[in-house]
Structure 1
Amino acid sequence: MTGRHRSGGHRVAVTGIGVKSPAGNDLEEAYTTVLKAEGTAASLAGWLVEQDHPVHFGCLVPPFDLEAYLTRRETRQIDRTTQLLLCAAADAVADARLPADLPPERVGAQIGTGIGGLPSMEAVTLSHGDRPREMPVHTVPRTMANSPACRLAMRYGYQGACTTYSSACASGTTAVGEAARKIRYGELDVAVAGGVDSAVTTVVVGAFARMRAMSTRNAEPELASRPFDVDRDGFVMGEGAAVLVLERMDSARTRGARVYGEIAGYADTCDASHIVAPREDGETAARCMRQAIADAGLRPADIGHVNAHGTSTLLNDRAEARAVDRCFAGQPPPLTAVKGVTGHLIGGSGALEAALALLCAERGLVPPIANLRASAESDLVDLVVAAPRTVPTAPVLSNSFGFGGQNACLVLVPEG
């Protein structure tokens, strides 16, 4: 099955994927880890415990060879957020095998981030806040929220639209969706799109903990992120980046590119009700899902499974379950949520989850939700538990919802 846009335009292929995540540093590794449904959160005792921090665990990207991607000079000039983005992008671009003669003005960089340069600003404030005359010379470019997108464009010479999207936890999904729109309507031929954040820091984690949004299971971090579980007590902060190379389907076919699938539908809405809490009835989130599905030229019954936002917070999971129930009129397809494994990558989560959702749809295997034992939402949604579930090859709906009531949904159609 392939999606067809009601409004016409070019079809949008996914021809490259790069991942730097707590679940693994390439797509296959991340996919295998997610299928095992084992949490990756671990204690960060080296610094958070010493500060008597209320939360001292998180999900970090496993070590990898940074020098294989960046020179030492680049590493000094850019912060970890941009480092992760550039490394994931390098893998995605290599995977896509883009032609060397692409017109640079027809290629864009489209990146989402929810936190942006805040961790770098936090670090420099703590180290040099009382010595402003000694501020590191690279402070401003390291802390600019648009640095990841601009550094990406500079590295490859992309002169098309270079845009940074910040829609809280929906940022990565927004970036991929808006990039697809630019290709669909002829503004770009190719877009390197994705999301990134690296926010496992003292101030950021402390601020979310103060809101009581984070799990405090310090004694068992690997069990802390439990989307839709009846005993969930908050999300787990993670870090990471995921990047997708998008291009016109006809061009990808002509050059014989490997096509993972298609970005067939996208929509975004706003609850416009509360700065941090979702709308309880899920209506605007459900409308976002319906619009994304319609944008793909599909019906809800055509969706093979749902990759939920699934933060492991009480209000968000409940609202999302109600939204899915509304969208699918009480007959939802299987639903999974990978944050039980990866934690919440904030701006990076939507792009990572879209990539994983597409691979799951292609292979017909939906991962179980980690740490899910019992759920108060099981009467509303068909939760995948205990073991991977085999499903027919079909389009997948990937959801992202963020503070400010930001909703963004993608419909991805696997190749073949």
Structure 2
Amino acid sequence: MNTSSGILAKKYSIIGPHALTRTLGNIPAAIISRIWGLRGPCMTVNTACAAGLHCIGEGFRMIQNNEADLVVTGACESPLNAWVIAAFCRLRALCTQFNDNPEKASRPFDSLRKGFVLSEGAATVVLQAWPPPDSFLMESFTETPKPIAEVIGFGRSGDAHHLVAPDTTGNGVLRSMLNAFRDSKLKHFNQIGHINCHATSTPVGDLTELSAIAQMFGEYFNPQYHTSVVINSIKGHLGHCLAAAGAIETVYAALSVNQNRICGNLNLHNPISISELLEVLNSNSSSSTSISSNEKCIDLFKNYAVLPRHDQTQVTWPDSHRRIVMTNSSGFGGTNGTLLISEWTD
């Protein structure tokens, strides 16, 4: 007969010596630091689905504050296992429709959106001060690589609302975008030609983010310039990579301004209507989150916001002097982040 102590000893023996280091969130950063001999700050940002964007933004801040000349940033996530899938299902966050046609399940901004589709991935972004200082780390390069794009603004905010549901006023996302916009020193909102949204294909989240963008239109859009803003979410193509999503989408944003191409909205057939947006804005009009008249917000959004449909796989940038993209991320716990990325100009 097995005694309780014998059972405990057997369970203890199956725990390997690497069990703990396989679960710590900072180990990927530590491994990269060790392999490449990077002896500056080595740390991990733990902000759920906003972590990838936040870590790039914090690296940008380090360079802004002269704490580093070069920062390796990024994120990875591998959530496709039974426990994680079950946990998200219990939250009713995942799409349970389109099971016979799964490539149609992730559909940001579409009227049939029912939840997100889990995916996994990773991305790394190397940030460097420009022009490089004389003591630049990458001495092995005979010629300094030309940047792909430039980070010009970073903002973050907290909802102080709910652990897993967004603040339906849009105030959290709005303040994150405002902080990035002000950090960039841009003068009007339509200097931004493209917004890559966090939109994960959930009924509430997608609508909340669009309502926040509509409020940005109402406050900072200058109609005398007559330039449109293309709005998308690449999660229709990639699904939701959780912590890695913001890093992957930052890479997309940088390549978008670099190559003058914008990805369309896969599976977007019937977008969120103007009446839905107005209803959300009106329902929150008594709160302090309203920064401009709802009618002005809606009119400008209706006339200048472009959401490419499912058959527009690739869109060219609106005419502007300089290609600038805004990319958003949000995460459980009510955390938000926004980056502004510009094409590189010599």
Q: For this structure pair, what is the TM-score category when the shorter chain's length is used for normalisation?
A: 0.7 to 0.9
Which amino acid in the other structure matches residue 324 of structure 1? Answer: I
Once the two structures are superposed, what CA deviation does each residue of 1:299-322 show, in whole Å capped at 9, x if it has no partner? 312101000001001111011010
Equivalent in 107, 126, 146 of residue 226 of structure 1:
107
Correspondence 1:133-212 to 2 at 5 A: 133-212=13-92
Match of 2:308?
384
Describe the shift of the 1:151–1:246 C-alpha distance in structure 2 as closer, same or farther (beyond 3 A). same
The alignment's C-alpha RMSD in Å is 2.0
Match of 1:341?
237
1:133 deviation in Å?
Answer: 1.7
SS in 2 for 1:413: strand
Which amino acid in the other structure matches residue 25 of structure 2? Answer: A
Equivalent in 265, 269, 286 of residue 373 of structure 1:
269
Describe the shift of the 1:329–1:185 C-alpha distance in structure 2 as closer, same or farther (beyond 3 A). same
Unaligned runs of 5+ in 1: 1-127
**Of the two, which has the highest radius of gyration?**
2
SS in 1 for 2:208: helix
Match of 1:319?
208
Once the two structures are superposed, what CA deviation does each residue of 1:258-306 show, in whole Å capped at 9, x if it has no partner? 2101111001000101111111110221121011011011131210100
Once the two structures are superposed, what CA deviation does each residue of 1:159-195 show, in whole Å capped at 9, x if it has no partner? 1000100111100000000001001111111100011
SS in 2 for 1:188: coil
Counterparts of 1:300 and 1:273, CA distance in 2: 27
CA contact (8 A) 1:169 1:346 kept: yes
Which amino acid in the other structure matches residue 305 of structure 1? Answer: H
CA contact (8 A) 2:194 2:230 kept: yes
Which amino acid in the other structure matches residue 316 of structure 2? Answer: T
1:363 deviation in Å?
Answer: 2.3
CA contact (8 A) 2:329 2:337 kept: yes
Match of 1:113?
none
More divergent stretch after superposition (136-145 vs 223-232): 136-145
SS in 2 for 1:141: coil
SS in 2 for 1:306: strand
Identity level (%): 34
1:240 deviation in Å?
Answer: 0.5
SS in 1 for 2:178: helix
CA contact (8 A) 2:50 2:331 kept: yes
Counterparts of 1:129 and 1:414, CA distance in 2: 59
Match of 1:71?
none
Counterparts of 1:236 and 1:363, CA distance in 2: 28
CA contact (8 A) 1:287 1:327 kept: no
1:389 deviation in Å?
Answer: 1.7
Counterparts of 2:22 and 2:157, CA distance in 1: 31
Counterparts of 1:151 and 1:415, CA distance in 2: 31
Paired residues, number: 289
Q: Does 1:410 align with 2:339?
A: yes
Match of 2:196?
307
1:360 deviation in Å?
Answer: 1.1
Counterparts of 2:109 and 2:203, CA distance in 1: 8
Q: TM-score, normalised by structure 1?
A: 0.67
Once the two structures are superposed, what CA deviation does each residue of 1:11-42 show, in whole Å capped at 9, x if it has no partner? xxxxxxxxxxxxxxxxxxxxxxxxxxxxxxxx
CA contact (8 A) 2:193 2:323 kept: yes
Q: Does 1:296 align with 2:184?
A: yes
